[in-house]
Chains A and B, each alone.
Chain A
Amino acid sequence: MRRAVRLLEYQAKELFSEFGIPVPEGRTSRDAAQGRKDAEELGYPFVAKAQVPVGGRGKAGGVQKCSSAEEFELRYPEILGMSIKGERTRAVLLERVADVSKELYLSLFLNRSKRCYTVIASAEGGVEIESVRNRAVREVGSGEVGEGEARAVAAELGLDGAAAADFAGILGRLSELAVKKEAELAEINPLAVLADGSLLALDGKVMTDDNSNFRHPEMAKYREISELEERAERSGFSLVELDGNVAVVGNGAGLVMSTLDMLADSGGRAACFLDVGGGATAESVYEALTLIGGMGRVDGILVNLYGGIVRTTTVAEALVRAYGDGTVGVPVFARLKGAESDRAKEMLAGSKTGIYEDVEEAISAAVVGVRK
């Protein structure tokens, strides 16, 4: 059911605007025709920014300045067609260039062990915060940050006068956003101090708690979900697409992660992480195989199920059916342990499916099997 819920930059900035945090003027498009209109409205120069739900965009060439229509025509398709760390560009944000004199960092994140939000702020923005030494870190409770506290953070950064007041205001509004939208992370990096002393959120990152989606129908428009992920979600699965060729399926997030780790240790490369959950049935395992069948690039399927909750015979039934109707053509390497695993093996005898008692054997067989 769960997937990454990192909003795209333009989406985060829409939320910033909604909460009164200043952002650069910009336009977002998903094709060149709309992009061209955006460019005309905005006027040159501007920056074109790939909208991808991962970091490292700048280094990958996903942010380019355009000073003329020629440059736009050259760069727009390049950015739109780009993939960064396996994530294709979802949209392109064209944004007015700001006159920046200094860059700050500001974020709120849910501190799990302290069970509250923690503010991190720094006068050295624009870089990854882990690499910054001088930073203010403050636990601020689970509600909105009050003005006194926000002012104290501003003072810690050495801000004074109008900049301190602006900064405190932005921190207060960012915390309001985090609380009201149930965000796990709300980050402005960089938060620019402009030549005229005003503040502007140049980039934004918001991660929400998707378990609270039912309370936030207004956020539904921000869901960027592939067809495959949507189908997985409808079936009650967790699916993460990866770039290898061995699909990894199992019951329970920890078990599937553990299987990915062991597969990687053995030199295999996972095509996906697919957790069918505890409530798996013959139908849902069959649906999982159908999903994988539709992925392309899969040369083998590694199944790791720990029985008890999911019956192994249920899985065997699904495999028999999937081979029978051509849903699955690639070999399956299945580790089935738990209730009735002997019967499950009997059901699969003579099929393309290899059944293993031990997950490490199944992995070795899969790594060798997909190389053939």
Chain B
Amino acid sequence: MSGPPPVLDIMAGAPGDADYRRKPVIIQGITGKFGSRHARLMVEYGTNVAAGVTPGKGGQEFDGVPVYDTVGEAAAATGARISVVFVPARHFLAAAKEALEAGVKLLIAIPEHVPVRDTLEVLELAGRRGATVVGPNTPGIIVPGIIKAGIMPASPFKPGNVAVLSKSGTLLYEISNALTQAGFGQAVTIGIGGDPINGTRLTDAFEMVRGIPGLRGLVVVGEIGGDAEELLAERIIDSGFGAPVVAYVAGRAAPREKRMGHAGAIVMGDYGSAESKVSMFNKANVPVARRPAEVPVLLATKMEGGGGGAGPGPGSG
């Protein structure tokens, strides 16, 4: 089994590609209320929205984007290997299977409320087809200045050399904005989603970004529930990752055994507690901010060599 591919290879491609920085994207559910709004915003950002899919609406156009009945037709016509899915949660399983069977290699699953069992089934298929699923319940991926595949607002993000990985949507915007204000633009930000089972786990997302040339820092925005942060902290230790890493963990004050909005944000016994995550990050020499606004401050300190762990630095991945 090979690991997940570097995110910039999928999202932007290589300078020799005919579609370098113009990777075609399919929007599944492009004529729906939510899908249409965000398709427009993606086009506005400069994303190459090459095709939309809405069963029964094939042959139509949406703002000049051709609409197809199936992902198979859309992929064949455009060569797109990235699809952003906007269908209602209970139709996600069918839509995702259709995309993966049509050769989609990066499936960005926006819907919230997808049953875990459906996610598991999609991930099994994605594994067999060598595809990457991001989400469900994710804001998507943005490579600032190049491509926005998801529902994040454009304004918090600016091109730069820091990668941000987040379970939460609005906290991703909030913290990216704070980073941007402090002069830390982003090479890429990946929302992994707030569900219990994530197509791309924090450790997978780490593998997708760690080799980015010139990467100067990594910010991880976690929250209570599961053990993704703990496993990432272990991976950071084991991999000898050289660039500065700073984390934030939401949910310290949340009561146990209550789902805090996200399906995945629940502490059961000690499984998923903020204390456990913070203590593992500390072991990995990753400072954990108490407030979102503290993230850029800690990152700056870490970059200046404070707190150790900052190894060879830029481009060492």
Contacts and interface: CB of A to CB of B under 8 A. Distances in A.
Interface of A: 1-6, 53-55, 85-86, 109-110, 112-113, 115, 128-130, 142, 182, 184-185, 207, 209-212, 214-215, 238, 240, 242, 250-258, 260-265, 270, 273, 275, 278-279, 306-309, 338-339, 358-360
Given A212-B117, A308-B153, 20 more contacts: A55-B257, A85-B255, A112-B227, A112-B228, A112-B264, A185-B268, A209-B115, A212-B116, A252-B168, A253-B223, A253-B262, A257-B223, A257-B224, A258-B171, A258-B174, A258-B250, A260-B253, A264-B252, A306-B173, A309-B151
A129 B89 contact: no
Contacts of B151: 278, 309
B116 A209 contact: yes
Contacts of A242: 255
Interface residues of B, number: 64
B115 A211 contact: yes
B263 A211 contact: yes
Contacts of B197: 110, 112, 115
Given A211-B114, A250-B170, A257-B261, A113 B252 contact: no
Contacts of B167: 254
A109 B172 CA distance: 29
Contacts of A210: 259, 263
Contacts of B266: 4
B101 to A, nearest CB: 20
A311 B90 CA distance: 28
Contacts of B256: 54-55
A243 B169 CA distance: 27
Contacts of A260: 251, 253-254
A54 B257 CA distance: 7
Given A182-B117, A254-B262, A261-B252, A130 B270 contact: yes
Interface in B124-177: 151-153, 155-156, 166-174
Contacts of B268: 109, 185, 207
B313 interface: no
A278 B169 contact: yes
Contacts of A54: 256-257
A254 B250 contact: yes
Interface of B: 34, 89-90, 113-117, 120, 123, 151-153, 155-156, 166-174, 194, 196-198, 201, 203, 221, 223-228, 231, 248, 250-266, 268-271, 290-293
B173 A308 contact: yes
Contacts of B173: 306, 308
Contacts of B171: 252, 254-255, 258
Given A130-B270, A360-B293, A110 B116 contact: yes
A232 to B, nearest CB: 11
6 contacts: A113-B227, A113-B228, A115-B123, A210-B263, A254-B166, A254-B170
A273 B263 CA distance: 14
B114 A261 contact: no
Contacts of B166: 254
Q: Which of A112, A279, A338 has the most CB of B within 10 A?
A: A112
Nearest to B121: A142
B123 A257 contact: no
Interface-central residue, B201, B203, B248, B266, by most chain A CB under 10 Å: B266
Contact of A4 (B196, B225, B228, B259): B259
Contacts of A240: 254-255, 258-261
Nearest to A86: B255
Select the residue from A211, A251, A263, A273 with max chain B CB neighbours within 10 A: A211
Nearest to B255: A242
In the A-B complex, the 6 residue pairs with the smallest Cβ-Cβ separation, listed nearest first, are A254-B168, A253-B261, A252-B170, A308-B153, A254-B171, A212-B115
